[in-house]
Structure 1
Amino acid sequence: MTDGFLSERGLVLADSERADLGAYLRRVLRLDEAAVVRLHRRSERLVTVWSETGFDALAMRTFAGALPVPDAVAAADHLLAALDVPGTIDLGFPMDSSWRGALPPADGYAHVDDVPAHAFVELARRGAELAEEHSSAHGPPASLLDQQVLEIEGAGDRVPIPMRLVFALTAMGFIPSDPPAAEQQDPVRVRASASWVRLDARFGSVYRHRRGSIPLTVTR
């Protein structure tokens, strides 16, 4: 392993951000123990970390840090272990071939409306009860995941929210399952483009392509 390889496969992260990235990665691994994450350099001081959720939706959180390359894919378990080592965080061997699909565009979204966080917590609770009743060895039935549980209207658009997005938002801990009273009215911002629906919560965002499956190439 060369020094050049190490310099390209290293993440510089503020110490205050390590615990938050660790919590994010543990959530990712709880959903898929073989998960990979995709790191994207948003700016010189910001790095976005993306993951698949198992609900046909992508999760994203932004951290204060620096990435020497525009884009990198790493094994989530390796990255979690590397957080315990002081200094530059080694991303390990490239895992690019393990990432399927394109990232959503960074801009081009219209603000549709805001929904209080507690509404999503309640929907997730009711959905979990139904999933427990009707799940099989393969998990919750597709009919439950695809069920439209909200319809948000605004900015000349009408955006259906399926249970998949609700589960993705809460499974990643972007809304706590039992938020303090002060956080229950926190807005979950619903944004949409022609191709993507985006939910922005206090601790992160989830995205889903409006056609359902995540495309192999970016469409706007």
Structure 2
Amino acid sequence: MTVTTDARPFSATLRASTLEVHEKANYSTYMRALLGGELTQEGYTQLAIQYYFVYGAIEAASDRMAGDSVGGEFVFDELRRLPNLERDLAHLVGPDWRETITPLASTREYVSRIREASSWAGGYVAHHYTRYLGDIAGGQAIRRLLERQYDVAEAGALFYHFEGIGSAPRFRDAYRAKLDNAPWDEAERARVIDETLVAFECNVAVFDELASRLDEFRA
């Protein structure tokens, strides 16, 4: 069990406790190849496809959590990614994208974990935090890559457009305040940290499986 007792706000403890695995995801073989401009557009499309299944699971959990006194605080309609992903995939894959895309084995395991963890508000928040805050911040580097390398600025890159949240720094600050104020005791906070670590590892597993196919997508 992760130890969380310290004088910092919980959001700071959560960030510090997950920094190592966060860096592991950021510097995975697949992400380094993508951000290094080494992949074709199809190489990025494979990631967008996996995100469709992941965010489908998270946003279904958001629907279930909407009335929860704790989890409901982390349901933001302005964050929802599925509508943008659907437009992106129609552009990147084609009009028949729903019939042609499939999740990787690691993605299926990730989706299963989201569904299992989201039976508890803290587990839901762990997965929500891991994905959305990363997309709002670090995901913007991928947005710039898509615009620069593939000339994809609207449909195809809409996943990384977050105009609905207003100021990104203010939104992140407000989100962290919700983490700090959530009524979890020390044991529950430890569980949230542990599940956030699992969420990051789920992301790493997807990146690793994508990396196993890099030769197909070298630019």
Which category of TM-score, normalised to the shorter sequence, fits these structures? under 0.3
Q: Which has the larger strand fraction?
A: 1
Which of the pair is proportionally richer in helix? Answer: 2
TM-score normalized by the length of structure 2: 0.23
Q: Which has the higher contact order (CA 8 A, sep 6+)?
A: 2
